Amino acid sequence: MITIAEIAKLVGGVVHGDASLEILAAAPIRDAQVGYITLADDPKFESKLRACQASAVIIPADFPKSEKTCVVVDDVHTAFAKIVKYLDPPVVDSFAGISPTAIISPSAKIGEGCVIHPYAVIGDNVQLSDRVHVGAGVVIEAGCSIDEDTRLYPRCVLYSKTKIGKRCVLHAGVVVGAFGFGYLTKQGKHYLSAQLGNVIIEDDVEIGANTTIDRGTYNATVIGEGTKIDNQVMIAHNCRLGKHNLICSQVGIAGSCRTGDYVVLAGQVGIGDHVDIGTGATLAAKSGVMNHIPAKSVYMGIPATPIKDQMKTFAVVNKLSQWYGKWKDMLTRIERIEALIQSIDSTSLTSDSDDDLRNGHQGKRAA
Amino acid sequence: MITIAEIAKLVGGVVHGDASLEILAAAPIRDAQVGYITLADDPKFESKLRACQASAVIIPADFPKSEKTCVVVDDVHTAFAKIVKYLDPPVVDSFAGISPTAIISPSAKIGEGCVIHPYAVIGDNVQLSDRVHVGAGVVIEAGCSIDEDTRLYPRCVLYSKTKIGKRCVLHAGVVVGAFGFGYLTKQGKHYLSAQLGNVIIEDDVEIGANTTIDRGTYNATVIGEGTKIDNQVMIAHNCRLGKHNLICSQVGIAGSCRTGDYVVLAGQVGIGDHVDIGTGATLAAKSGVMNHIPAKSVYMGIPATPIKDQMKTFAVVNKLSQWYGKWKDMLTRIERIEALIQSIDSTSLTSDSDDDLRNGHQGKRAA
Amino acid sequence: MITIAEIAKLVGGVVHGDASLEILAAAPIRDAQVGYITLADDPKFESKLRACQASAVIIPADFPKSEKTCVVVDDVHTAFAKIVKYLDPPVVDSFAGISPTAIISPSAKIGEGCVIHPYAVIGDNVQLSDRVHVGAGVVIEAGCSIDEDTRLYPRCVLYSKTKIGKRCVLHAGVVVGAFGFGYLTKQGKHYLSAQLGNVIIEDDVEIGANTTIDRGTYNATVIGEGTKIDNQVMIAHNCRLGKHNLICSQVGIAGSCRTGDYVVLAGQVGIGDHVDIGTGATLAAKSGVMNHIPAKSVYMGIPATPIKDQMKTFAVVNKLSQWYGKWKDMLTRIERIEALIQSIDSTSLTSDSDDDLRNGHQGKRAA
């Protein structure tokens, strides 16, 4: 429980309405009930806000004042997060230091302020810089290095020689550096390609739960600085992702692809091998990409097509079953016209094309 | 080895045929060989049953008697499972109690009859009700609660504040409560949204191996009572799934979606963010959903379309390459007709539309 | 650093060019820079090789000699791998033997030369043949057996009764033998089907990170000898995959499917339940399969269609939005022609079809 006056103080906001109102909880417009405070960051939500039962709302200065009690702030999301934290404080993990159950190779180097949870296993010559946080049951194979302030959530596995930059976050179940799926088939058997490369993850990369990134064949698979990757994404051997990409859930990128910077791949996109995606390009959800995608373009569909063309195609495809009947009808009508013309006294016709029509065509004719 | 007479006794069935027949193994129709018993639950399988080499069959009362020895029962699947168990008993895990290698925070509360396998890690203030079963290497972060008779298979990870109901089953590798994939981009960098919510899983939910369910931004991501989720499903932040949904493998549901009750999402379906799926709706495999789906409807395709329309569209699309030639031909024939008409002595024409035809159209004309 | 002469000796090759050249690193054509050695295995890469900055190249005998220093060998990839290993040696894990922290049931049998990493958990009656390698944190439930020289990477989970052949590789996060997703719905609740089967993986199978393979209902789910499976693949209960299949990343195969030998499923393919895929068949990426696929065929698309037909369909679909305008135009032109014919003095017409045209059709007419 908190009053609007207290909220305004907490978030540095200005109250319009009843400052003594007591607030029970905070929730987005869809979920807010009587006694709740909600948030609205865009005037397009005004009607939804009006329909919602929230008793109060956090809004920016340019938002129309609501009938509800308003708290006006500069940054709606930051303010709202403060309120949520106040009403339902996040749980803080009391664990610190290095668990005596963590198994750390004598040749590994562990920086200052690292936190290593129980049952983590850290191999030979691993290097952790300062303040690296290793979750429970994480396995870090020999020769890996992790730069400062990076956090690995429980059960991540890093295969040998993986390099991770500063301030990265790897969520539970992430596997980095497993073998690339490359085989040479000889006499009916598949032989695995070389697995001599590794994975390099640059600074400020975040990787979602159960995502997998395979090691390169001879060199590195690279994830560029600031790129964010959602859960259950698959990035194959030899890929080189640029900086500040956003790769949504369940995307699959086959071997040896490259992306520029600020590429956005929406959910379940699939990219064939050796494809380049230009800087600033966006692929809509479920797109299937077989060819290079130009910079700054937006593509959609299987196979991926510029979105404007694809939207037109979708619109036409939607009407296809209606048109199917029309085509049949059109064909019938053309045949009737042709038959009719056939039957007209030929003395009234003068063109050569008449002969073409009579003799050359596959249409059904009246006898 | 078991005789038909013994099987009939085991399952409470009535024998038609040779009760002394000895049975070696039990398998479905596709796999059954001589000496096997199989099962048939629907008269539509009669011809397959006849073609199969099984020596005996479990059938319901309304199934036509086979030439094979039959055992007639009320519930074919229950009876068959008893036979399979008799012939090839399931392996029972002898582990019980709480492993001394499990690391349990002193502030955690553990109910009666809980089983906690080796190397599980249980954080501060976690609450396990009675008979919760925690597999090897499971990690349960601070502030989680799990209600009675729920089982977590090995290597599940629950992030902080996850709430799980009664009688749930979470398979190996499930990750619940990792961060939602929401970023605000400022000056070329992506900043993670708030991660202040949690995940609430209601009673009788089952979750397949390596599935991931992200925590809500400010409030809960919710999985409704009795909903069953297959392997490798991705459910994003703020989603609220209804009761008794069936979510098949590799489905991806983007942020802030809602489903009603008894929704069925077939394999590899993708749902865009903020989409509502009505109660009783079904999405066919690989559908891509961008808009709300009405209750009780069946949709299919990318973008998802009512299945009747989609099936018609598929049928037409299949014929498109044939029609492509026909369209070209139709156009040519129209042009020829127009040219021919052009060439007819204009004195025989009386309509105004003649002028339109001569002057207005883009078709190719005879000179 | 290594000279070309030393490289030639290392790989048993013949030098064309400057044998004293010093090489800093080895990389494929895309990544090679000045001072690097690269490789080219196919004359089609000749122009790319010329454009690349590499100072030297490994080529086969039939490759045109480059301006760069060449080392000619029989097997380009084997030779290149030797050079990469020389310049950047793989990291070898020093761990051997059986970790004292591994928890092994007294009834388990462990062969000669097995390596069992820390925190592995091995259940009752498990049998490991010689030289099985069990990664950190692997969980092997009761009644499993693993044949010689198989390696499980960290965090794999094998449910009870899983059988694995010789020389298999299971990557981190693989889950084998979790429950099949089969439910019977009674009075609004979903009841799980029997889970009495297991998973059998034959010799020389490789399985990518975070892949899941579910146990059979009554009998086994089977993965045939020599089949290779990429990351994040889902194989459902009762499936029987043939020998030497290649199953790419994020493929999903629903329950009770069968594949012949040498089947190739490209990335993100989805296969409905009870489908048979014939020997030697290939499914292109993202295909959705609802019906049996004949042997040696290549299918593509949703629903999957023979690739030749599908490519024609894609080509037509690409032109649909152009044709949409043409259809409308064609229809208008047919209507105009009909109207024109209507208006012609009927005395010049002799055919019966004239009446059809006048009376029978739905086209718009000039008044």
Chains A, C: CB contacts under 8 A, how many? 222
Please say whether the beta carbons of C320 and C304 come within 8 A: no
Q: Can you give the pLDDT at residue B353?
A: 45
Q: What is the ipTM of this complex?
A: 0.92
For C43, half-sphere exposure in the C-beta direction (CA atoms, 13 angstrom radius) is: 5
Q: What is the pLDDT of residue A352?
A: 46
My answer on whether C267 and C335 are in the same domain is no
| Same domain flag for B161 and B268 | yes
Which helix H or strand E contains A189, and what residues bound it?
Answer: strand A189-192
Q: What confidence score (pLDDT) does residue A343 get? A: 81
Which pair of structure tokens corresponds to residue C341? 């014919």
Could you give the 3-state DSSP secondary structure of residue A326?
Answer: helix
* Residue in the block written with tokens 């109690």: B97
Q: Is residue C113 part of a domain?
A: no
Say what the pLDDT of residue B357 is.
47
Q: For residue C200, count CB atoms less than 10 angstroms from its CB and return exposed for 0-12, middle for 13-18, buried for 19 or more.
A: buried
pLDDT in tens, C178-229: 999 999 999 999 999 999 999 999 999 999 999 999 999 999 999 999 999 9
SS3 B275: coil
Residue A269 CA: distances (Å) to CA of A29, A252, A288: 30, 6, 6
Q: Give which of B260, B312, B265 is closest to B286, Cα–Cα.
A: B265
Q: Judge if C38 and C61 occupy the same domain.
A: yes
Give the model's pLDDT for residue C350.
46
- Give which of B234, B253, B265, B299 to mutate to test A binding, by max A Cβ within 10 Å: B234
Q: Which residues from B are below 8 Å from C192, CB to CB?
A: 206, 228
**Same domain for B345 and B248?**
no
pLDDT of residue B360: 41
Angle at A175 (CA atoms; ends A174, A178), nearest 5 degrees: 165
Contact B97, B118 (CB under 8 A): no
Query: C324 and C259 share a domain?
Result: no
The structural domain count of chain C equals: 3
DSSP string, B2-58: EEHHHHHHHHT-EEES-TT-EE-EE--TTT--TTEEEE--SGGGHHHHHHS--SEEE
To the nearest whole Å, the CA of C101 is away from the closest chain B CA by 10
Q: Identify the domain boundary among B66, B87, B108.
A: B87
Evaluate whether residue B111 is within a structural domain.
Answer: no
Give every residue of chain B whose pLDDT is below 50, as ranges.
345, 347, 349-367
pLDDT at C347 over 50: no
* Average pLDDT of every residue of chain C: 92
Clarify whether residues A76 and A164 are in a common domain: no
Q: Which of A68, A87, A106 is the last residue of a domain?
A: A87
Same domain? For A221 and A338 the reply is no
The catalytic residue positions of B are 237
H/E run at residue B308: helix B307-343
Please indicate, yes or no, whether residues C289 and C345 belong to a single structural domain of this protein. no
Nearest residue of A to residue C247 by CA position? A181
* Chain A residues inside the 8 Å CB shell of B250: 250
pLDDT at B313: 93
pLDDT of residue C361: 44
Those chains having 3 or more beta-carbon pairs within 8 angstroms of chain B are: A, C
pLDDT for the residue numbered A355: 46
Tokens of B336: 């020829």
Task: Return the CATH number at B240.
Answer: 2.160.10.10
Q: Are residues C210 and C294 in the same domain?
A: yes
Distance CA B7, CA B14 (A): 10
Residues B271, B354 within the same domain: no
List, by residue number, the catalytic residues of A. Answer: 237
Which of these, B146, B138, B203, lies nearest to B172 by C-alpha position? B138
Identify the domain containing residue B9 by its residue range. Answer: 2-87
- What is residue A353's predicted lDDT score, i.e. its pLDDT? 45
Report residues of chain A scoring pLDDT below 50.
345, 347, 349-367
Per-residue model confidence (pLDDT) at position C255: 97
Q: Tell me the per-residue pLDDT of C231-255, one tens digit each, with 9 for 90 and over.
A: 999 999 999 999 999 999 999 999 9
Kindly state whether residue B309 falls inside one of the protein's structural domains: no
CATH code, A19? 3.40.1390.10
Nearest CA in chain C to B338: C337
> What are the residues whose beta carbons fall under 8 Å from the beta carbon of B261, sequence distance 6 or more?
B224, B242, B243, B244, B245, B279, B280
Q: To probe the interface with A, which of B121, B222, B286, B317 has the most A CB atoms within 10 Å?
A: B121
Q: What is the mean pLDDT of residues C167-183?
A: 98
- pLDDT tens digits along C15-63: 999 999 999 999 999 889 999 999 998 888 899 999 999 999 999 998 8
- Give SS3 for A85: helix
User: What pLDDT, on a 0 to 100 scale, did the predictor assign at position B125?
Assistant: 96
Q: Enumerate the H helices of C123-282 as residue ranges.
A: none
Give the closest of C103, C141, C178 to B208, CB-based.
C178
Place of tokens 């089609």: C44
pLDDT confidence bin for C343, thresholds 50/70/90 = confident
Q: Which token pair is C223?
A: 């993965």
Encode pLDDT of C108-153 as tens digits.
999 999 999 999 999 999 999 999 999 999 999 999 999 999 999 9
DSSP letter assigned to residue C347: G
In a domain, C231, yes or no: yes
- Of residues A103, C206, A281, C266, the one with CA closest to residue B101: A103
Say which of C179, C316, C337 has its CB closest to residue B341.
C337
Q: How far is CA B234 from CA A57, B80, B90, B203, in A?
A: 32, 34, 31, 20
Q: Report the residue of chain C nearest B268, measured CA to CA.
A: C270
Does C279 reside within a domain?
yes
- At residue B94, the pLDDT reads 84
* Pick from C91, C153, C171: CB nearest A142: C91
Dihedrals φ, ψ of C214, to 5°? -85, 150
What percent of chain C stands above pLDDT 70?
93
Residue contact C209–A317, C-beta within 8 A: no
